[in-house]
């Protein structure tokens, strides 16, 4: 019997996957626990519509990421910090501070986890930082750290 899984089931399959299950397993376990539905025409159409909707949503997110890349690559983010001798700053600049400044100054919202810093910035100067906006879409942001 072909069924469409409604949830991930270990050793069986993932959500929205169509599998062949034995009649007894489907009727006695999957259907009563609401883990699957029969793969009839109506349910197959619902699955197809759902997958198309998800693909459309992902395409919109990709397009938004491409637009953000164009905006970010034209920006030089200036940040003023207190510094000591030899251009060392007190504390450090983290991805959280970079994300907050981008949103405050340029209205571009970026998750701090997507800002790829090997280590926090601890000196004054110009830095190029990568921001992963979406799968295989990254932007390079220039940051200019200035002493107050």
Name all domains of the chain by residue range, CATH numbers in brackets.
2-63 (3.40.5.10), 64-147 (3.10.430.100)
Query: Using CA atoms, how far apart are residues 145 and 122, in angstroms rounded to an integer?
Result: 10
> DSSP strand E in 30-119: where?
36-38, 76-81, 88-93, 115-116
**Stretch 5-11: mean pLDDT:** 95
Could you read off the pLDDT of 9-49 as tens digits, one per residue? 999 999 999 999 999 999 999 999 999 999 999 999 999 99
State the pLDDT at residue 119: 87
Q: Which residues pair with 38 in a beta bridge?
A: 3
Inter-residue contact 145 to 121 (CB < 8 Å): yes
Please give the mean pLDDT across all residues of the chain: 93
**Stretch 119-136: mean pLDDT:** 91
State the pLDDT at residue 20: 96
Query: Using CA atoms, how far apart are residues 40 and 81, in angstroms rounded to an integer?
Result: 63
State the pLDDT at residue 83: 86
Q: What sign does the dihedral 4-9-13-16 (CA atoms) show?
A: positive
Which band of pLDDT confidence, cut at 50, 70 and 90, is reported for residue 88?
confident
pLDDT at 8 over 90: yes
Query: Using CA atoms, how far apart are residues 125 and 131, in angstroms rounded to an integer?
Result: 19
Helix, strand, coil share (%) of the chain residues, nearest 5: 40, 35, 25
């Amino acid at each position: 019997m072909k069924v469409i899984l409604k949830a991930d089931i270990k050793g069986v399959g993932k959500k929205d996957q169509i599998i062949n299950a034995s009649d007894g397993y489907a009727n006695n376990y999957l259907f009563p626990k609401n883990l699957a539905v029969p793969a009839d025409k109506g349910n197959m159409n619902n699955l197809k519509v759902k997958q198309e909707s998800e693909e459309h949503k992902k395409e919109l997110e990709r397009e938004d990421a491409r637009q953000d890349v164009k905006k970010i690559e034209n920006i030089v983010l200036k940040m003023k910090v207190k510094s000591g001798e030899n251009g060392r700053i007190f504390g450090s600049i983290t991805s959280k501070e970079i994300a907050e400044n981008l949103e405050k100054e340029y209205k571009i919202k970026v998750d701090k986890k997507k800002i790829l810093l090997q280590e926090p910035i601890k000196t004054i100067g110009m830095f190029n930082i990568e921001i992963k906006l979406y799968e295989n879409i990254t932007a390079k942001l220039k940051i200019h750290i200035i002493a107050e």
